[in-house]
Amino acid sequence: MLVIDSLEKRYANNDVALKGVSLELRAGEVVGLIGPSGAGKSSLIRCVNRLVTPSAGTIALDGVDLAHVSGRGLRRARRQIGMIFQEYALVERLSVMENLLSGRLGYTGFWKSWTRRFDGKDIARAYELLDRVGLAGMENKRADALSGGQRQRVGIARALMQEPRLLLVDEPTASLDPKTSRQVMRLIMELCAERGLAAIINIHDVVLATQYLPRIVGLKAGEIVYDGPAKGMDAMVLTRIYGDEDWTAITRNVAAAEESDEAAEPAAQRSTRSGPADAAYSLAATAVMAQAVTP
């Protein structure tokens, strides 16, 4: 559903952020985007939602080339894309409900939204999503009265309000404590699985990435240097992405996660897999299930 081909981004100051990135996501596929600071992760996400204009290449979302649309075509294409941000990007003085309804802006238009004339169906959808993300009953709370984890749940629900096909998630856990980070990652994975949403998740925490994300894309200096399963994140791959370091703590975690996946998965189910795509999907489903039973 998303096919990025030979994407390049050179900024006005001549900084080259992306040097021919090609990446393909199937419907419902979730990818973790990792890499050192300055590797081009944010630039890639910003090119896909067209916060910046790519310098070359194509970004086909369900056949529409996002790199070359503008005006109404771009607005229509953007409705297919939900954004989740590190700092939540909520309107602080507005209620949770109003923040959610602002997620329908792409459909209702600015003035209707500004004058708070919302569709009954949108309000019903907002209640349903609040319930799903664990914030039932909080619709009238102001955004600035929420904890970080609650704010991110609002951010997630708001992104889903426009019923996107693709989620772009920028450092969703960077401002959260370890337990809340895990809850948020689990929630995102469950929602993607339930709704068949594809997602690109820009994430610095490699352990968290390998724990929750079936497929990892490693960027270095604007180029993809790894695209494969989380369980393939060994010391060599990590060194290729980040440079020399003692990676033992991380690789031990990856191996442990892989072992618990194998133990949780019935042998018969394993034998029905037909290829890497199936394996990646199955790993995601297993991770979600494994987390669901973890207290």
Ligand X SMILES: Nc1ncnc2c1ncn2[C@@H]1O[C@H](COP(=O)(O)OP(=O)(O)OP(=O)(O)O)[C@@H](O)[C@H]1O
Shortest distance (Å) from residue 79 CB to ligand X: 24
> Comparing C-alpha atoms, which of 27, 10, 32 is closest to residue 231?
32
Query: How do strand 16-25 and strand 215-220 relate by DSSP bridges?
Result: unpaired
Residue 17 engages ligand X in binding (rule: CB under 6 A):
yes
Q: Which residue reads 């980040």 in tokens?
A: 242
* Pair 250, 229: CB distance under 8 Å: no
Q: Which of 2, 7, 21, 39 binds ligand X (CB under 6 A)?
A: 39
Binding segment (CB under 6 A) for ligand X, from list 7-15, 23-31, 234-242, 278-286: 7-15
**d(Cα 85, Cα 89) in Å, to the nearest integer?**
6
Q: Contact between 15 and ligand X (CB under 6 A)?
A: yes
Residue 147 phi/psi, 5-degree rounding, is -75, 170
Contacts 24+ apart (CB under 8 A), 243-252: 243/36, 249/207, 250/206, 250/207, 250/210
- Say whether residue 13 binds ligand X (CB under 6 A): yes
Smaller CB separation from ligand X, 11 or 114 = 11
With respect to ligand X, which residue has the nearer C-beta, 37 or 294? 37
183 binds ligand X (CB under 6 A): no
How far apart are alpha carbons 217 and 83 in whole angstroms? 19
Are 108 and 119 contacting, i.e. CB atoms less than 8 angstroms apart? yes
Indicate whether 55 belongs to the interface with ligand X (CB under 6 A): no
- Residue 164 as a binder of ligand X (CB under 6 A): the answer is no
Residue selected from 23, 30, 32, 40 as contacting ligand X according to rule CB under 6 A: 40
Say if CB 157 and CB 125 are below 8 A apart. no
Q: Which stretch binds ligand X (CB under 6 A): 31-39, 62-70, 104-112, 233-241?
A: 31-39
Q: Which is nearer to ligand X, 35 or 54 (CB)?
A: 35
Under rule CB under 6 A, residue 53 binds ligand X? no
Contact residue for ligand X among 41, 104, 125, 231 (CB under 6 A): 41
- Rounded to an integer, what distance in angstroms lies between the CA atom of residue 82 and that of residue 70? 18
**Which tokens in the block code for residue 218?**
């490693």
Least Å distance, CB 13 to ligand X, is 5
CB of 285 to ligand X, least distance (A): 29
Closer to ligand X by Cβ: residue 52 or 289: 52
Nearer to ligand X, 45 or 280 (CB): 45
Identity of the residue, 113 or 202, whose beta carbon is nearer to ligand X in the bound complex: 202
* DSSP character at residue 14: -
Q: What is the distance between the alpha carbons of residues 240 and 251, in angstroms, rounded to a whole number?
A: 14
Residue 248 lies near ligand X (rule: CB under 6 A): no
Among 21, 29, 30, 35, the residue binding ligand X under the rule CB under 6 A is 35
Centroid of chain to Cα 78: 15
Applying CB under 6 A, the residues found at the interface with ligand X are 11, 13, 15, 17, 35, 37-43
